Amino acid sequence: MIVATHLRKQFVVRGKPLVAVNGISFHVKEGEVYGLLGPNGAGKTTTIRMVMGLLEPDEGYVEIGGMRTDQHASMIRKELGLISTNDGVYPWLSVREMLLYFADLYAVEVPIAKERLEELAGLLGIRDFLDQRCSTLSTGQKQRVTLARGLMHDPPVMLLDEPTRGLDVVGSQTVFEFIDFLKKRGKSVLLSTHRLDEAERVCDRFGLLHHGTIRYEGTLSDLRALTGKEHLVDMFIDLIQSDRTQAPISSSMGAA
Amino acid sequence: MQEYFSNGRLGRLCLKELRESLRDRRTIATLFLMPILVYPLLSMAMQRLIVGSVRGTSEKQEYLIGVADEDTAQIVNNSIRETQRAINAGVRPSIDIVRSQSSSSKKLDSAGADSDNADGDNADSNQRDDLQALFRLAMPERTSTSEALKDGILDLAVIQAKQTDVPLRDGQSIPVFEFELQFREGDLKSEGAMLEFRKAMQLVNDYQAAMIRGPALPAAVQLKATSIGTRLDPTASLAGVLPLVLILMTITGAVYPAIDLTAGERERGTMEAMIATPAPRFVLLLSKYVAVVTVAVLTALANLLASWITLSIGGLGRALLGEQGFSIFALLQILPLLVIFAAFFSAILLAMCSFARSFKEAQAYLIPVMLVSLAPALVTLMPNIEFSTWLGVVPLVNILLLSRDIMTGSPAPLPAFAAVFSTLIYAAAALVVASRLFGAESATAGSQESLSDLLQRPRKARALPDLGELAIYLAILFPFFFIVTNLTGQWVTEIVPRMWCNALVLLLLFLIAPVLFVWYRRLSFRNTFLLDFGASSCSKSGRFGMLSQLGWLISSVLLGLGLWVIAFELFKVLSDLGFGALSLERSESLDALKKQIRDIPFWMFLLTSALVPAIAEEFFFRGFVLSAFRHRLSAVWSIALSALIFGVFHVISGSVLSIERFFPTLLLGFALGLLAVRTGRLWPGIFTHAIHNGLMFWLTRFEEHELEGWFGKGNQHFPVLWIAASAVVVVVAILLLWFSSLDRSHENVS
């Protein structure tokens, strides 16, 4: 569903070029949860933005369902849902108004949007405060509204950018359940996180990102065989240490 | 894109933005509380100011009367001395007692009034302290008394004074006076001077009537007072305060929603989710823009009503704005002005706020903008500022001066037109800038990137200009065009240089500048300017054979031959209906022009009035403008809008506003637009345009009596047969155009 090929993005920070993403390739199949893992600054958000079509890659391209993002930008956006750390809500709108607003932004027909709203309200447990102003909601409630918002247009591909950052155990649990739900629905999920323990629980495959390149890629058992470590955390520590000795490790294993 | 404009979706998007701003208490506060507080306070302050300016600090008011020469001064002095006599004699009229004092013909230059050292015979009058008015005489040196009065140096001007001594039976004689005076109407001080002088003279009348009861005597003093137009009017500056306050309040109303809906969206963390949707940024911004303008207009309405009520109740309106006060009519004229202004400033605010990443940053950007825009706004409060032509294209200032003039009297039509039209264009351009800035990805790259996109030369070549580029080009072109045509209209009075000048301006602004612009933006010359000469080419407009080309040629010539008669008649009918009667001097100058026109060689005439306008205007209006519209809109809308712009530009001719030219030009614009769209070529339009202009101007070379052979005696119009024949020619031309443009290969045009 998602195919990223040799993505590269360079920024200019205070006059110096900084390569945020350096030639990464990966693919996510239908019904698969792909974990894009890495410490802060590894290039996760930049990658997700390029997949979204919000950033134009300097090199390489992304295909969603066979369409390239640089050619079918607005069509592809209908196929994508995005939920990220910083997502907020509109304090002066009710939950219903906000969700229907996003349905309109995705050009969903009104009757379909209303139907979907009812379905999501039951699913995410937001029915009780549908007509409440968003400013009166608790953090947990807001988070569930955000998750519902991402599904108002029922996209086949979901991008989750650090969805659990700043959430407590209950909040994180809601996100996991949400991801399970997405998987059951056969959606492709690209999850970026720096919480490796969480990733181990929900992802089918992983890409370990460091300094803008994918260092290891595969399922958990692939990675265990490759690195000889039991947990992702250990693999990362290993990776960071090997980095200090400047040993290049094979990259771009998952080029489709 | 289309799905966002159908099924009421755009309306719902706008509704969301409106809900967001109107549910916010801060918006409501500026909307309703501010006007309720501001206007009563303002009216109190003004009342004090006006009372202060009229009464002065001392209770005795001094008035300066201007006289032309020593003789007049003597007569005025005599009349005032008579008043003195009346007071000394104990005449107690029902009206106020007037003390008079004359400093005999004090010299005064035109630059400044001197009223400090009262010299002369005021010794006796000093003894009386029950007097209220004081007249001083002054003789302007380098200017007439009327002029000095107009400039506000004098309060009253004596135009003529006559004194006749009428002998009485007892050998004595009494003086009889005749005065012709001028005062400034609407100026409280001058009106006060007139009133006090009248009272003083009434005293003389009463005195003489009481002393000498003779039936044969004429009235002792005959006064004839005329008012002059006010040029310097101290209340005019106060009248300028009201528009300024209204505009400021409109801005205030728009500021908060503008920040909240843009920078606030970032701050709340909803921006990214919104940008990630397929909704085009322009649609997002448009919905926000509609909301901001709505709030601004609501604020303007609330303020207008509050100010209207305050001014009507307190009677302050009459003191500020003259007899009629703040009329409902003025209110209805100012409201659309405020709407236009709201449309303009909301776009500016959105552009500024889209740049900002947070509420605080947005405020930091806005404060300097507000201050910078306030500086010229304060200039409009200066009493001597006239709403001159070139100020018509200065944003903000034009709306302020126009609303001031609407409140106090009648605004000049040309700057008024320029003010409205230019503000609308600026609003469109600012909206374009805002939509480029809005939602620009700032997470890592910085928001400068997208602004530079707008200014820098694009890297990729494109076929056609977009509407944004059109708006920006028009926003630069219109003020330039307006000022240049005005200056040439005023400075270049000789016909020959003027015609060369006009042709040069047309070439520069409508041909060379657009060509450079198209080159800079890497647009295709061929597509933008419909440059296809070959018999069969251009994938966009289909394949046409030689026969089609011949058809176009004939139809363009026929259109040129037929249209001008209809356009001329339309022009005549509109002029007769009074559309052209905006300026009196015009018909005279036209007659003078006609004489000069006959002396010009015909080739020069054809070059400057037919060929150059045809080429330049076709390149711009049917090339650049029409192509920009065609990029997004249907053929019908593109033709209509480009014809509208074509018409509006032609209303400005020299330094006058010719409304009567609008409809004929609009008609021509439709025909030329149709021609360009049907053929996909520019050249047929150039043919039609050149023939049309050539014939039209050729007609102006004839004197009326020479045309009698055609028009019939005493008739200024074409015979009906002519008009009918022309209509038939036009219809035939259009039919021919239609059939010759039927695509014979794969794709239909239009």
Paired with A22 in beta bridges are: A8
Q: Where are the alpha helices (DSSP H) in B152-233?
A: 188-211
Residue A116 has pLDDT above 90, yes or no: yes
Other C-beta atoms lying within 10 Å of the C-beta of residue B541: 21
| Residue corresponding to tokens 């990102």 | A209
SS3 B362: helix
> Interhelix angle for B70-88 vs B188-211, to 10°?
60
- Closest CB to A97 among B7, B16, B269: B16
Q: Give the nearest chain B residue to A49 (CA atoms).
A: B276
Cβ within 8 Å of residue B436, ≥6 positions away: B450, B451, B453, B454, B468
Q: E strand or H helix at A5, and its extent?
A: strand A2-13
In contact, B722 and B565? CB cutoff 8 Å: yes
Q: Where are the alpha helices (DSSP H) in B358-459?
A: 359-379, 397-408, 413-437, 448-455
CA distance B537 to B380: 57
Lowest mean pLDDT among A3-7, B50-54, B263-267: B50-54
Q: Characterize A129-160 residue by residue with b for buried, 16 or more Cβ atoms within 10 angstroms of its Cβ, and e for exposed.
A: bbeebbeebeeebbbbbbbbbbbbbbbbbbbb
Residue B410 has pLDDT above 50, yes or no: yes
CA distance B296 to B302: 10
Q: What is the pLDDT of residue B711?
A: 65
Cβ within 8 Å of residue B337, ≥6 positions away: B399, B402, B403, B406, B420
CA distance B512 to B521: 14
CA B251 to chain centre: 21
Between residues 198 and 227 of chain A, which touch chain B (CB distance below 8 Å)?
A: none
Q: Is the Cβ pair A93, B13 closer than 8 Å?
A: no
Q: Is the Cβ pair B278, A55 closer than 8 Å?
A: no
- The shortest C-alpha distance from B466 to chain A (Å) reads 19
Q: Is the Cβ pair B12, A90 closer than 8 Å?
A: no
Backbone angles phi, psi at B465, to 5 degrees: -70, 150
Q: pLDDT tens digits for B291-312?
A: 999 999 999 999 988 888 887 7
Other C-beta atoms lying within 10 Å of the C-beta of residue B393: 23
| Residue corresponding to tokens 């990658």 | A47
Q: What is the pLDDT of residue A189?
A: 94
- The shortest C-alpha distance from B518 to chain A (Å) reads 25
The CA-atom distances, in angstroms, between B293 and each of B23, B97, B158, B289, B302 are: 16, 58, 53, 6, 14
Q: Give the nearest chain B residue to A75 (CA atoms).
A: B278
Q: Which two tokens stand for residue A175?
A: 């996100």
**Chain B contact for A92 (CB, 8 A cutoff):** yes
B443 by Cβ neighbours in 10 Å (0-12 / 13-18 / 19+) ranks as: middle
- The shortest C-alpha distance from B359 to chain A (Å) reads 15
CA distance A166 to A140: 11
Paired with B160 in beta bridges are: B180
- The shortest C-alpha distance from B260 to chain A (Å) reads 11
Between residues 16 and 55 of chain A, which touch chain B (CB distance below 8 Å)?
A: 20, 45-46, 49, 52, 54-55
In contact, B398 and B419? CB cutoff 8 Å: yes
Residue B582 has pLDDT above 50, yes or no: no
Mean pLDDT calculated for residue range A90-105: 94
Q: What is the pLDDT of residue B340?
A: 93
- Closest CB to A90 among B270, B277, B284: B270
Lowest mean pLDDT among B20-34, B204-218, B607-621: B204-218
Lowest mean pLDDT among A55-59, A181-185, B162-166: B162-166
Cβ within 8 Å of residue B147, ≥6 positions away: B110, B140
Q: Left if phi > 0, otherwise alpha if psi is -120 to 50, otherwise beta: which for B462?
A: beta
**Chain B contact for A80 (CB, 8 A cutoff):** yes
Q: pLDDT tens digits for B367-401?
A: 888 888 888 778 777 766 778 778 888 888 888 88
Other C-beta atoms lying within 10 Å of the C-beta of residue B271: 23
Three-class secondary structure assignment of B25-68: HHHHHHHHHHHHHHHHHHHHHHHHHHHHHHHCCCCCEEEEEECC
Q: pLDDT tens digits for A134-165?
A: 999 988 889 899 999 999 999 999 999 888 88
CA distance A97 to B19: 10
Mean pLDDT calculated for residue range B516-537: 79
Nearest residue to B5 (alpha-carbon basis) of B469, B624, B643, B637:
B637
Q: What is the pLDDT of residue B52?
A: 56
Q: Categorize the per-residue pLDDT at B715 as very low, low, confident or very high, splitting at 50, 70 and 90.
A: low
Q: Using a pLDDT cut of 90, give the percent of chain B over it.
A: 18
In contact, A202 and A176? CB cutoff 8 Å: yes
- The shortest C-alpha distance from A87 to chain B (Å) reads 5
Q: pLDDT tens digits for B325-375?
A: 777 888 888 899 999 999 999 999 998 888 787 888 888 888 888 888 888
Give B493-500's long-range contacts (Cβ < 8 A, gap of 24+).
B494/B596, B495/B593, B495/B596, B495/B597, B495/B600, B496/B596, B496/B600, B496/B604, B499/B600, B499/B604, B499/B605, B499/B608, B499/B609, B500/B608
pTM over the 0.90 mark: no
